[in-house]
DNA sequence: ATAGGCCTGGAC
DNA sequence: GTCCAGGCCTAT
């Protein structure tokens, strides 16, 4: 589920649920998550007040009252579920945070690939990230500069979080469709005019994303190319094609993306 | 650049 | 059973 719009929503949900509250109990319910959040970190979390929750790329940073931070990343299937401590455990609950007013936030994650990391400083665990898509510093010139030394195609480059933070596989494909750019185009060959279109397209597809969590049934009707192999391009009547780039599916229309 | 690994569920 | 999955890391 989680690309930037969904993570943004999740961070808002989390902020509304626990910002300003003290963590009174931490549970880790899956061994894989236990690797990232050992008992010592669980103890250090307990008793802290969550001062704020901010999103950076697809990471969520929970700033705590002693200057440390809990960094969450949903990977493929993570999400928060907000409930009360007396309610039944969520399906796929991998970790739970209980705060001082009886609210319980559950990290629900079927594939258990999500990560929680407690850090003295969020900079210790956050990777180097490029500009946010809506940041004014993202310009055709800045994008050209960050693509200049790359060898590969534009689509995998868009998935590199150092280029632009928060663009995932679906929105990369959708943005390239909207900008009419072939995903196989060498990244460094794109000129200012196409980069300008690409930036506008990225912003547009992210803005038009559903506000809430990912829902496959809603999404299917929204995408122009993603998961539409063999179907008709809404724009030119061509046939949407699926290829694999850097191990990931890419969907595009060979007729109008050039 | 690509392959494999992390995990599990769902579609076939 | 097999293949696929919206992410990302490590090794080659």
pLDDT at A149: 87
pLDDT band at A169 (very low <50, low <70, confident <90, very high): very high
The reply to whether the CB atom of residue A35 sits less than 7 A from any atom in nucleic acid chain C is no
On whether both A224 and A150 belong to a single domain, the answer is yes
Number of domains in chain A: 2
pLDDT digit string (tens) for A240-250?
A: 999 999 999 99
On whether both A155 and A243 belong to a single domain, the answer is yes
Whose structure tokens read 């697809």?
A58
Whole domain around residue A212: which residue ranges? 140-252
The residue from A27, A150, A248, A255 that is catalytic is A248
Q: How far is the CA of A60 from the C1' of C7 (A)?
A: 14
- A258: three-class secondary structure by DSSP: coil
On whether both A83 and A195 belong to a single domain, the answer is no
pLDDT band at A210 (very low <50, low <70, confident <90, very high): low
Neighbouring C-beta atoms of residue A243, cutoff 10 Å: 15
A248 carries an active-site annotation: yes
Residue A168 · residue A3 · CB < 8 Å:
yes
Q: Answer yes or no: is A134 within a domain.
A: no
Q: How far is the CA of A135 from the C1' of B10 (A)?
A: 37
Q: What is the CATH number of the domain that holds A199?
A: 1.10.8.50
- A169: three-class secondary structure by DSSP: helix
Report which of residues 229-258 in chain A place their beta carbon less than 7 angstroms from any atom of strand C. Answer: 247-249
pLDDT at A217: 46
Report which of residues 167-196 in chain A place their beta carbon less than 7 angstroms from any atom of strand B. Answer: none
Residue A103 · residue A38 · CB < 8 Å:
no
Distance of alpha carbon A245 from alpha carbon A172, whole angstroms: 12
Distance of alpha carbon A168 from alpha carbon A176, whole angstroms: 12
Q: Answer yes or no: is A199 within a domain.
A: yes
pLDDT band at A35 (very low <50, low <70, confident <90, very high): confident
- A67: three-class secondary structure by DSSP: coil
pLDDT at A54: 96
pLDDT at A213: 52
Report which of residues 222-251 in chain A place their beta carbon less than 7 angstroms from any atom of strand B. Answer: 245-247
The residue from A5, A6, A48, A58 that is catalytic is A58
pLDDT at A232 over 80: yes
Q: How far is the CA of A247 from the C1' of B5 (A)?
A: 13
Pick from A85, A102, A125: which residue ends a domain? A125
Pick from A79, A99, A125: which residue ends a domain? A125
- Show the CA angle centred on residue A121, arms to residues A116 and A123, nearest 5°: 85
Contacts of A71 (CB under 8 A, 6+ apart): A59, A60, A61, A62, A115, A116, A117, A118, A119, A122, A125, A126
pLDDT digit string (tens) for A92-137?
A: 999 999 999 999 999 999 999 999 999 999 988 999 999 999 999 9
Helix (H) or strand (E) holding A115: strand A115-119
Distance of alpha carbon A175 from alpha carbon A19, whole angstroms: 34
Residue A2 · residue A214 · CB < 8 Å:
yes
On whether both A26 and A68 belong to a single domain, the answer is yes
Distance of alpha carbon A184 from alpha carbon A174, whole angstroms: 14
Distance of alpha carbon A143 from alpha carbon A104, whole angstroms: 41
Where are the alpha helices (H) located in A46-159, listed in sequence order? 122-125, 140-147, 154-159
Q: Which nucleotides of B are covered by protein (CB under 7 A)?
A: 1-9
Residue A196 · residue A140 · CB < 8 Å:
yes
Mean pLDDT of A16-23: 98
């Amino acid at each position: 589920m989680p690309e930037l719009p969904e993570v943004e929503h999740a961070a808002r949900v989390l902020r509304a649920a626990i910002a300003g509250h003290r963590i009174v109990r931490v549970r880790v319910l899956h061994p894989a998550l236990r690797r990232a959040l050992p008992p010592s970190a669980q103890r250090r979390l307990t008793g802290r007040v969550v001062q704020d929750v901010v999103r950076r790329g697809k990471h969520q940073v929970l700033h705590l009252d002693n200057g440390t931070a809990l960094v969450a990343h949903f990977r493929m299937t993570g999400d928060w579920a907000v409930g009360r401590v007396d309610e039944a455990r969520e399906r796929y609950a991998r970790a739970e945070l209980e705060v001082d007013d009886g609210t319980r936030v559950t990290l629900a994650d079927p594939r258990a690939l999500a990560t929680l990391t407690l850090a003295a400083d969020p900079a210790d665990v956050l990777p180097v990230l490029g500009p946010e898509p809506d940041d004014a510093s993202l310009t055709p010139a800045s994008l050209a500069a960050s693509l200049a030394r790359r060898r590969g195609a534009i689509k995998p480059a868009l998935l590199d979080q150092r280029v632009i933070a928060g663009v995932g596989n679906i929105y990369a494909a959708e943005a390239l469709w909207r900008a009419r750019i072939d995903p196989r185009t060498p990244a460094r060959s794109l000129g200012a005019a196409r980069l300008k279109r690409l930036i506008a397209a990225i912003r547009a597809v992210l803005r038009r994303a559903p506000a809430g969590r990912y829902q496959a049934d809603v999404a299917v009707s929204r995408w122009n190319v993603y998961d539409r192999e063999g179907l008709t391009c809404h724009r030119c009547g061509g046939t949407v094609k699926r290829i694999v780039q850097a191990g990931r599916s890419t969907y595009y229309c060979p007729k109008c993306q050039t």
